[in-house]
Amino acid sequence: MKTRVISAIVALPLVIIPIYLGGILFYAAVLVALCIGLYEFNRAFKVENKHLYVIQVICSLILLSVMWFEYSAFYISPVVLLLILLFMYYVVSYPKMELKELIHTLFGFFYIPVMLSHIILVRQIEVYGGFMIWMILIIAFGSDSFAYFTGRTLGKHKLAKELSPNKTIEGAIGGLIGAGALSIIYAIYVSSTGLNFEFYHYVGFGIMGAVGSVFGQFGDMSASAMKRVTGIKDFGNIMPGHGGLVDRMDSIIFVAPFVYYALLFILKGF
């Protein structure tokens, strides 16, 4: 427990400062996270060809560059480019490279850069982005915390025994309620800074938090499923006591896209 606490204390400024300041520092931090996440994912699925990792990183850099310049019409272009480059490399390397490596490489790009890049899209939402990006962390980590403590005190019925033996239905419900409540509380705080919300906004934020908790819990269990399939305990060891970066971001990977699209719906007045 001591190691986990120390790791968390060290990691917090590395997360909070780039998000708060935004700009190039934020993009750089996201790019670093994507590169580490891709490395951990590839190692877990035994994608040992370094050229495939380089292709992933290049396409990730292009994806973030497109977002930096807000060329929305080109958001899908890095994915198309990745697919083309992978098949070109597959043809050139045939029959040395197995097709499953290509599939894992493509899946890893969708799972890490495409999903996590929605953090940037949330940050770019006009007026509200600087505030609402924190909603992702509030929902993901708030849900985890409430689920943990509720499960410890009230948990009796297993949620997914084969994947996560310690998770309970009661804990999942606690996480859902907790994330919904925290989202409303944060929205009230944001409104005190000068941004005006109507009643339906608060209802929307509460629903977003609760449903986001469901997405986050499925993100967590999806990572557990992949770890069981690949036979690993953690995706990495970059954070002592916590595992790898993917282990810490598994909920955020699912929550970030949901929050972005939910916010577009809520902020436009349903």
Last residue of a domain, one of 116, 137, 161: 116
Q: What is the pLDDT of residue 176?
A: 96
Q: What is the pLDDT of residue 165?
A: 85
- Residue 113, pLDDT > 70, answer yes
User: Cα–Cα distance between 252 and 260 in angstroms, integer?
Assistant: 12
User: Which has the higher per-residue pLDDT, 165 or 235?
Assistant: 235
Q: How sure is the predictor about 169, in pLDDT bands with cuts at 50, 70 and 90?
A: very high
Q: Is there a single domain that holds both residue 93 and residue 169?
A: no
pLDDT in tens, 31-44: 999 999 999 999 99
- % residues pLDDT > 90 (the chain): 80
User: Cα–Cα distance between 149 and 168 in angstroms, integer?
Assistant: 11
CB atoms within 10 A of CB 177: 18
Domain count, the chain: 2
Q: Is there a single domain that holds both residue 97 and residue 163?
A: no
In three-state secondary structure terms, 239 is strand
Last residue of a domain, one of 58, 90, 116: 116
- Residue 158, pLDDT > 80, answer yes
Q: What is the pLDDT of residue 13?
A: 84
Segment 102-106 long-range contacts (CB within 8 Å, at least 24 positions apart): 102/52, 104/42, 104/45, 104/47, 105/42, 105/47, 105/52, 105/55, 105/56, 106/82
Within a domain: residue 32?
yes
Predicted structure pTM score: 0.93
User: Is residue 242 within 8 Å of residue 7, measured between CB atoms?
Assistant: yes
pLDDT in tens, 171-189: 999 999 999 999 999 999 9
Q: Is there a single domain that holds both residue 49 and residue 8?
A: yes
Last residue of a domain, one of 92, 116, 140: 116
> Could you tell me the residue range of the domain that residue 152 belongs to?
127-270
Residues of 4-40 as b/e, b for ≥16 C-beta within 10 angstroms?
eeebeeeeeeeeeebbeeeeeebbebbbebbbbbbbb
